Copies of this chain bind each other. A is one copy, B any other.
């Protein structure tokens, strides 16, 4: 029996009980709301965890990049939505090969991008399902709601494509700072995407999937009438940002980083062997505040260089060289992307590993 004391540090731990509960809870919310759950697998990048989500009732997975879909397809996943405006003939040829094995849909938000995919599918005598991305306020990608009908018309006319749905992502729900804000943002996200879908339908174009989601806005968005699908990601592991946003409690966080204190150069400073290569430099949301929380203490990792996490020792806390600590990271998805393997634990005992098979798949 391998315990946490036997593990070399730093190590990224996943608590299997919390993971299973998080998956079950979000699935239950989706079931109650009557929507499909299509989790964004970027959080875990792991076929093992994806299989748990499908087993719990998820309709398929969401990913962003072509190479991620290739990894998950190779691991037997059959229904993938790439919620990303993929561009170019080289990617389109890979998507064409994927579409032989997988029920595939891809996000679009421009004629140029959509055409670059449609041309390849049309030349092969095929059609690719695409969903039009709506900007519901995040101001990243997507067309504004008032442009939805015009863009849907232009995309629906392109050869090699079938307009299958409309989707959005209210990333500004991470602006917080209170659960009420996230719920309100989710409700607004739902209203915007449903109105866009209805406008496109009124223009004579069928829209099957009306999809939204992020962990903070999921519960507020999925209950809006007309929404058919929700795509949260972080909820499987949760993190310090989700706790700060009110989307999760500390006890809902399945991912922690086990680290060792390697230096205590001053009373107010202790340094652990987990820095930005382990924790990432992603900021906490909604408010920037260092790189992680030292679980069970009032202290936090105040700054991180690549291999050093510098703990600002809070009043009443003390650390000694050699002490092991657990860190709650700011952003779980970014941590997954830094590691090939995570350690699966249950009740403090190591049960195995979780392979991050799609780590680093940026193309």
Tell whether A320 is near chain B: CB-to-CB under 8 Å: yes
Interface of A is mostly: loop
* Given A64-B307, A65-B307, A360-B340: A87 and B273 interface contact (C-beta under 8 Å): yes
Tell whether A333 is near chain B: CB-to-CB under 8 Å: yes
Tell whether A10 is near chain B: CB-to-CB under 8 Å: yes
Report the Cα distance A112→B273, complex, angstroms.
15
Instruction: Say which one of A177-185, A186-194, A277-285 lies at the interface with B.
Output: A277-285
Tell whether A251 is near chain B: CB-to-CB under 8 Å: no
In the assembled complex, how far is the CB of residue A65 from the closest CB belonging to chain B, in whole angstroms?
A: 6
- The answer to whether A321 and B360 touch across the interface, beta carbons within 8 angstroms, is no
In the assembled complex, how far is the CB of residue A286 from the closest CB belonging to chain B, in whole angstroms?
A: 15
Q: A32-76: contact bitstring with B at CB < 8 Å (1 yes, 0 no)?
A: 000000000010000000000000000000001100000000000
Residues in B with CB closer than 8 Å to A9 are 363
Report the Cα distance A84→B272, complex, angstroms.
11
Assembly of this chain: how many copies?
2
Residue on B nearest A274 in the bound complex, by CB: B362
Instruction: Say which one of A18-26, A135-143, A201-209, A237-245 lies at the interface with B.
Output: A135-143
* Given A140-B271, A307-B64, A322-B87: A110 and B362 interface contact (C-beta under 8 Å): no
A86 partner, pick from B142, B262, B265, B269, beta carbons under 8 A = B262
In the assembled complex, how far is the CB of residue A113 from the closest CB belonging to chain B, in whole angstroms?
A: 5
Q: A278-312: contact bitstring with B at CB < 8 Å (1 yes, 0 no)?
A: 10111100000000000000000000011110100
- The answer to whether A64 and B306 touch across the interface, beta carbons within 8 angstroms, is yes
A109 partner, pick from B88, B110, B140, B265, beta carbons under 8 A = B265
- The answer to whether B283 and A281 touch across the interface, beta carbons within 8 angstroms, is yes
Residues in B with CB closer than 8 Å to A10 are 362-363
In the assembled complex, how far is the CB of residue A93 from the closest CB belonging to chain B, in whole angstroms?
A: 11
Residues in B with CB closer than 8 Å to A278 are 362
Tell whether A337 is near chain B: CB-to-CB under 8 Å: yes
Report the Cα distance A139→B264, complex, angstroms.
11
Report the Cα distance A262→B117, complex, angstroms.
12
Q: A346-363: contact bitstring with B at CB < 8 Å (1 yes, 0 no)?
A: 000000000000001011
Residue on B nearest A116 in the bound complex, by CB: B322
Residues in B with CB closer than 8 Å to A87 are 260-262, 273, 321-322
Residues in B with CB closer than 8 Å to A322 are 87-88, 112-113, 116
Tell whether A339 is near chain B: CB-to-CB under 8 Å: yes
* Given A283-B281, A305-B140: A265 and B339 interface contact (C-beta under 8 Å): no
- The answer to whether B333 and A360 touch across the interface, beta carbons within 8 angstroms, is no
A139 partner, pick from B143, B269, B273, B362, beta carbons under 8 A = B269
- The answer to whether A265 and B141 touch across the interface, beta carbons within 8 angstroms, is yes
A residues with a Cβ closer than 8 A to B are 8-11, 42, 64-65, 84-88, 90-91, 109-110, 112-113, 116, 135, 139-144, 171, 260-266, 269, 271, 273-274, 276-278, 280-283, 305-308, 310, 320-322, 333-334, 337-340, 360, 362-363
